[in-house]
Structure 1
Amino acid sequence: MEKIAGILVALGLAACSGIAFAEVEGDAESGAVTAGVCSACHQADGSGKNVPGGESWPRLAGLGAAYIAKQLHDYQSGARSNASMMPFANMLNDQQIADVAAYYASLPATQGDGGEDSDEAVLKRGQQLAERGDWSEYIVSCKSCHGPGNRGAGDVFPGIAGQHAGYIEAQLQAWKAGIRKNDTQDLMGSIARRISDDDIQAVAAWLAGQSPEAN
């Protein structure tokens, strides 16, 4: 089993490393002005908002600039779909996208919400999935791609530690249902389809309670 696990992780990381991103050069000061249109949902400090039972808005503060820029370009192209985000993304030109991405990347990461009421068993299961995965279900750990502490790895994998539980859960469900598919080689989709709804809630709750920054 350990040999199989090692092979799967290696394949997963190899697939991840093949995802190409264009270089993003932006000006954070200019981005602060443009980001005014984003603050109604993502808040002035980029902390986003967890909305139980509703649409949660992700924390953008502290995420990688290249990752943010790619998501905005994906909304423009239709590779990623969201009725609220697409009109705002289409308002921005390439330079404004680069500037907004640089601005949010320059902000200190804030703590996520949404896992406070989860019981110990749920959080323990969430921690297992995030840190070790579940090889009985061929589920790779989150940190295999999202890096140590799940705080992000390079330009491709965003930090998910300290992200809002509602947002993490919604994105995993979207990948599971095939609604979101802007990841190369269906990496996230293939993982999400193996995770039960209860496990999605568990890993989202645990990740929301983790520090987004190294102690």
Structure 2
Amino acid sequence: MWHPSATPVHSAAMTTAEEYWETFYLDRDQVWSGRVNPLLEREVRDLPPGTALDLGCAEGGDAVWLAARGWRVTGVDISATALARAAARAEEAGVEIAFERHDLAESFPDGEFDLVSAQFLHSPVEREGERDAVLKRAKDAVAPGGVLVVAGHAGWPSWQHDHPHADYRFPTTADVLAALDLDEDWVVETDEVVEREHNGPEGQPGTRADNVVRVRRLR
């Protein structure tokens, strides 16, 4: 999970993803709001709970929300600091979540899941083709009848003109579907760009567009 406008520019020069994300989280005591991502909530709130895999779980907002609704959740992140905060949040909320540390470019959780969630897997230090490879592994982790939900930013916020990573290209829903390379065992249930109000850190009014894809494995 990455919010480009909140990213220290100098950190992108680091040599490993683990170093980058540890610095990202150690820069402040809390990065995210702790609330569930609205697009994930929209896409899964009516699904019956089962097993869920939260890729890039960060500080645990989505994982705790899912667990509180009866999902058996595995949360994954590359940052040990983020995982420690997520575990503390889960304990405070009184829910059980299995947390695992993975660099998803190198390793991936075992098993199949009724829900696989990949929310805002943007990174200024990802290598070419890395995100697509992660999404393919995410698809492979979906159990028959289960769903994969992929959400990501469609571009910079309207108020942000000085982009810290100006050369970053935000993937489109078409890019996501191309990476997944779905066959007849899959159906696309959501393919949408959602625009919402998104104010800047100093209260600047503005908007931001996000992409969301939900696909279901039929068999």
Relative to the length of structure 1, the TM-score reads: 0.26
Greater RCO structure (CA 8 Å; 6+ sep): 1
Query: TM-score with structure 2 length normalisation?
Result: 0.26
